[in-house]
Each structure stands twice: as structure tokens, then as C-alpha cells.
A = this chain, B = another copy of it.
């Protein structure tokens, strides 16, 4: 049996989106899958009552009266709101009463709480939020996507390992292609940290590292190396790229409204607009901590919550956490700068 703890109070539309997403997940995933809904029990229960179709034997509600808001400072939230759905849910996971944890709450707080409650894998310096970007040739993983604004070269190398295990285990890429996001392909391109990371990555024979890549190679195949499965970047660049990409749907929609309004209602355009609608994509894995925490957009739809839960289940089934532990257990610490 796989049990996923869901922070029912996390998102902008909590707990409705969470409970509806939970219902979708229970319907879609097999009977071996159970859910633990964490949050204000009376509120959750009254939302659950709107879903008489659900097998209540597969749902547990764990009461957590406090709520972490988007305005809470991450570390303060962890320390002061011990009875929040965030801390209670992660503690369930840490104590192995849940195999994974999904939240659409305050990203900074989920990151801080995961690091504090679950702890980091040995020789991982910081946890990273990874984001799956859709491409015409399947998703690619961008990390860091905003958790760590400044990164050391050693941290960027860690991201490459974490991303490679994730893409192999959860997305099924045999030997994930790793690229370092830079402003050119030559060895001397980029800031000092990026140049150092490039040298460390080149020497790391356990990675399938193909070198520096540029902005144009993120979601379009690289002319030589094809699809880059794992795109390594600091959290500043990664966050800007992620949010920029998320705005493309609105850009295309406004251009079509201006120039070709008839197309907007064409069924032929639907696949493109659906592809560009980021609200359907659920679940950025938080990698580097001991466990399987997954972060969703605050604005997640029930379908996005369901997708995140599915990713959590697939991560557990694939043994992601154990494989990351092995990846770093076998690794000598990279040389210091």
C-alpha cells in the first residue's frame, strides 16, 4: 500500500481544490493507494461529504488546526506553527506514516519545513525545487526553479545528480542528458560559479553531461545533443525561465485575439493551448531531502493536484528516495572551490 499525505490547507482554493483533486486521484489510481488529508478536520470532512462516491476506507483525515499562509516567513512558520497542516503532514511522512507529501502551500515554507522535518541526504548541501517543463518531445527537468537564488558550483553539481536520478526513476529516461544553462557553449562562458560548475560536471563521469547549453536549448532540441533531460541552473535564472515560460499561453492567446480571433475557438488549436496552460501541470519535486515532498502552484486546479499526487505515487513506486540516497552514498564529496 502507498500512502500519500496531502496538505489540504495549502493552496489558494484550499481545501476545495485539494479535496476535489484527492477524489480524482482516488478514482484514477489503484486500490492500493490511500490518502491522508491533513488540515482542519471539520472543514475537510464537510468538503469530503460532497463526494459520496469516495471509498472512505482509503481516506484518513488528520487534524491540524493551524494554517501557514503565503505571508508567513518560511522558517518562522515551521518553528511557530507546529500544528499546521504543513508540519503535521511532513511529520507523518518523516515517521513513515505516509510515503510522500504533497502541498500547494507557500513554497518557501514547504522547502524550509521539508528540510527541517525530513533532513537532507548526506553530502547534499541544500534542497532544490525541480520543475518539469513540457516540450514537444516530453518533459524536461529544470533545477533549481527558484528555491536557491545563489548557488555554489558544488550545489549545481548536486542538482545534476538529483535531476538525473529523478528523470531516470520517475520519467523513465535511461541515461538522462544533463546540460548547464549558460550564455554560450564555450568553456570560458558565464560567471565564475558557472565556469567552475562546468569544469566539475565535465570531470564527473557518473553523469551524462553534454556541456553548456543556451536558452534556446531548454524546450527545443539541442542541434547536437537533442533533448536535454536535466537543465541545471541557479534558482534565480531557473525561476525567471519557469515563470516566463508559464506566461507563453497568455501571450499566444492575446496575439491570436488580436490577429486571428476565429482561430481561438478552433478545435484544432486546443492541443496547443492546452500544452501552454501551466495550471494543468502539477507537482514540482523537492529533491535532496530524505523523503518525497512535492510542491504545487498555489493556484493549482483539482486536476493539477491529482497529477502531483500521481507523481508522488510514481516516485515512491520507483524507489526515488532510496536511489538518491545511493547516488550520494557512492559519491566522494566534490572538491571544494
Which residues of A are at the interface with B, using a C-beta cutoff of 8 A? 135-137, 146, 149-150, 181, 183, 189-191, 194, 214-220, 233, 235-237, 239-248, 250-252, 254-256, 258-260, 262-263, 266, 268-269, 271-272, 275
| Interchain residue pairs with CB less than 8 A apart (23) | A135-B251, A136-B258, A146-B183, A149-B183, A149-B189, A181-B240, A183-B235, A183-B236, A183-B239, A214-B240, A215-B247, A216-B246, A236-B237, A240-B240, A240-B241, A244-B245, A252-B252, A252-B272, A255-B272, A259-B271, A260-B268, A263-B266, A263-B268
Contact A215 B236 (CB under 8 A): no
Closest CB in chain B relative to A262 CB, distance in Å = 6
Q: A136-B251, A233-B240, A262-B268 are in contact. List 4 more A-B contacts (CB 8 A).
A: A194-B236, A218-B247, A219-B251, A259-B271
Closest CB in chain B relative to A152 CB, distance in Å = 13
In the complex, what distance in Å separates the CA atom of A39 from the CA atom of B137? Answer: 44
Considering only CB atoms, which chain B residue lies closest to A189 in the complex?
B149
Contact A247 B271 (CB under 8 A): no
In the complex, what distance in Å separates the CA atom of A217 from the CA atom of B240? Answer: 10
Q: Which residues of B are found within 8 Å of A189, using beta-carbon distances?
A: 149
In the complex, what distance in Å separates the CA atom of A169 from the CA atom of B144? Answer: 39
Q: Which residues of B are found within 8 Å of A240, using beta-carbon distances?
A: 181, 183, 214-215, 233, 237, 240-241
Q: Which residues of B are found within 8 Å of A260, using beta-carbon distances?
A: 268-269, 271-272
In the complex, what distance in Å separates the CA atom of A183 from the CA atom of B238? Answer: 9
In the complex, what distance in Å separates the CA atom of A242 from the CA atom of B233? Answer: 16
Considering only CB atoms, which chain B residue lies closest to A263 in the complex?
B268
Contact A243 B272 (CB under 8 A): no
Closest CB in chain B relative to A274 CB, distance in Å = 9
In the complex, what distance in Å separates the CA atom of A256 from the CA atom of B275? Answer: 11
Q: Which residues of B are found within 8 Å of A233, using beta-carbon distances?
A: 240
Q: Decide: A255 near B237, CB < 8 A? Known: A183-B149, A243-B215.
A: no
Q: Decide: A244 near B268, CB < 8 A? Known: A236-B191, A237-B237.
A: no
